[in-house]
Every structure is written in C-alpha cells, then in structure tokens.
Amino acid sequence: MTFPPLREELRGVEPYGAPQLDVPVCLNVNENPYAPSAKVVADIATAVAEAAVTLNRYPDREFTELREGLAAYLNSSGGSGIVADQVWAANGSNEVMLQLLQAFGGPGRTAISFAPTYSMYPEYARDAMTGWVAGRRHEDFSFDLEHAAALIAEHTPSVILLPSPNNPTGTALPHDVIGTLCELAGDAIVVIDEAYAEFRREGTPSALELLPAYRNLVVSRTMSKAFSLAGARLGYLAAAPEICDALRVVRLPYHLSAVTQATASAALRHADELLGGVAALRSERDRTVAWLRAQGHQVADSDANFCLFGVFADRHAVWQGLLDRGVLIRETGPEGWLRVSIGTPEEMAAFQDALTDTLNHLL
C-alpha cells in the first residue's frame, strides 16, 4: 500500500469543479445573476440570528418546518397534495443524490443515465460504490426510449438518474417518457433531477405531476438556481414516504445545520420575490438562443437557464478567446460544443460581443 492509502479507483482523480476564476462576467456554473434583495437579506439575517441563539444545541434532525415549507412550495410549482413526509432535503441536490445512491445503489448494484448528462452522476456512483452505465441520447439530444429500454433490460439498474431539463443540453423529458421509464424500471427508482425546472418553457410539464401515479418516481429540485441561493446549499426531493424514510438511514446525524434550515425557511417565505428573476432569465435565454442561431450556430432547444451551442472545430480556443475578453463560460458537453449560462442583459451583451470578436480573430 502506498501513502496516503487512497482507494485504488481514486488515484490520480481530479476533484470535480469548474474553474473559479475572478473575471468580470461569470457564465459558467448556471448560477442566478440576481442576488437576493436587501429585504430578503434582512429577513434571512434575522432568521439566522434567531437560530444562532440555539447553536449550543444540535438542530432539528427531521427539519420539520423546512420540509413543510418545501412541500407547500412544490404544491405551487407543479405538484399537488405533497406532504412533509414526502419531502427530503440535504446540502445541495448533490448531497441528496449521493444519499439516494448510498441508500439504493451500493456494491453489486448499478446506476444508469444517458449521455450527454450531468457529469457528477458517475461520481455519486463511484462514491457510493455503485456500478455505472451511461447510455446515449439521439443526435438532437432527445431521449431514445428504445435504447433506454434495451439498456435497462440488460443491466437491471437499481437507480436511473435523469435530469429534466438536462444539463448540459437543456432538453426536458416529456411525461410519456418518464411514465414509460417508471414502468420499465420495476422496483428500481427513477430520479428526475429538476434542478432547472422553474426555467422550463410554457407547456413543458414538471415530473411532480406524475408522483401520484408512480411510487418509484423521485423528483429532485434545488434552491441553487431559480431561488438565487447557490451559496446556501439546499437541495430537496419529493417522493413516496418510504423513499424519504430510507434516506434517513444513510444521512449523517444533523446533516442540515440550524443556519441552513433557518436560511432556507426564510427564503421560502419570500419565494415569490426570489423567483422574480425567472421570467427575465427565460426571456433572456430565448433571446440568446435566437441570437446564436442567427449567427449560424447550432443551439440545443433549452428549458433551462443555460444553452449549449456549437459546433466548433477547436472549442477550447473559443472558450479561451471568451475568457481573454473577460467572459467565463463552460467547456462541457459533446466535443465541439460549449455551454453558456444566462446572465443579465448586460452580461449577455458582453458574451455576444466577446464571442463575435473571438470568432473574427480565429478565422
């Protein structure tokens, strides 16, 4: 054994994460560009101050008030009749999904997704000692149900992980696909990762509507994106109570700090205001997609707060050109494609200028 005695499969592995660079325009990690208002900040600060008085004690392990607040929000955002027992939360939906893999994956079991997809999924599987299989999507990034059915039959996964809208493509899944997957999955769980659900276009449904029909369906959400609360680290899910109960077995005791619970509950009381930037971001997204297409680029249809565009012979040179001009985007997705998060109109104007200038120089 060599020192440190790292697990064999972790040797030489780089920690996950996009570069955190100090640049004027950051459009690389799908954050919300609109910071909470002074009023919301003041209310969060008061709630945190109240929680601080109790910090000598461990927090509510069941985070009951927060679960009730999240259930009420979900019922206003595509769900109906969801109660606190059907809600679970953790430090970011990253942690929620790791817990799902810890509870429902494990040695001898397999988790499956369909590429291109969120690049953290194989890491949850690895960290939960779960086998990992990645299928593919159609060329236009839509879901290939026939291929999925074959892969599920071949590998009998215990967890199927699918973002809708998908990251990095922005593609949402239709209800019939989700329903068919839940049926094909048998007793396996189907996790529809709705980190970007609030940004979906008019007419795109939420998987929350299907919860009453499928006991193996899990819908995860986050406060990091639409709620402008990435720094607070609060992700959550809705599912059958048995699924939430099982997660209580693998969570660390008191995993949600009193400060996190107070922050998230205060933010939920201001949901309308915090979500106020969503409409502007959706329009800005549609404008960005139209502009990129008008420049002759390919752009995947997007239901999220980002879009994937290409195809560039040397995408790294384009990414670097933008960075040299003060605009940080993400080099991710299939070869030749780049992903840009949607920012303020000023930030998107800076992105457009930087892209135009970069491509003129590269010609």
- Read out DSSP for 135-150? EE--TTS---HHHHHH
- The sign of the torsion formed by the CA atoms of 234, 191, 332, 360 equals negative
Q: In Å, what is the CA distance from 25 to each residue of 174, 318, 346?
A: 34, 16, 9
Question: Which residue lies nearest ligand PMP, judged by its C-beta?
Answer: 92
Does residue 206 bind ligand PMP (CB under 6 A)? no
Q: Among 73, 104, 114, 118, which residue sits at the site for ligand PMP (rule: CB under 6 A)?
A: 118
Q: Report residue 111 as tokens.
A: 């988790």
Does residue 195 bind ligand PMP (CB under 6 A)? yes
Nearer to ligand PMP, 120 or 358 (CB): 120
Does residue 130 bind ligand PMP (CB under 6 A)? no
- Closest CB 294 distance from ligand PMP, rounded Å: 27
Strands (E), 59-146: 87-90, 110-115, 131-136
The two beta strands, 87-90 and 235-238, are antiparallel
CA distance 15 to 322: 24
CA distance 1 to 141: 44
Does residue 164 bind ligand PMP (CB under 6 A)? no
- Closest CB 163 distance from ligand PMP, rounded Å: 4
Stretch that binds ligand PMP, among 88-96, 102-110, 262-270, 313-321 (CB under 6 A): 88-96
Nearer to ligand PMP, 178 or 321 (CB): 178
* Contact criterion met (CB below 8 Å) for 160 and 188: yes
Stretch that binds ligand PMP, among 92-100, 124-132, 135-143, 279-287 (CB under 6 A): 92-100
Nearer to ligand PMP, 63 or 118 (CB): 118
Does residue 224 bind ligand PMP (CB under 6 A)? yes
Q: Among 94, 102, 265, 358, which residue sits at the site for ligand PMP (rule: CB under 6 A)?
A: 94
CA distance 306 to 158: 30
Question: Which residues contact ligand PMP (rule: CB under 6 A)?
Answer: 30, 92-94, 118, 163, 167, 193, 195, 222, 224, 230, 235
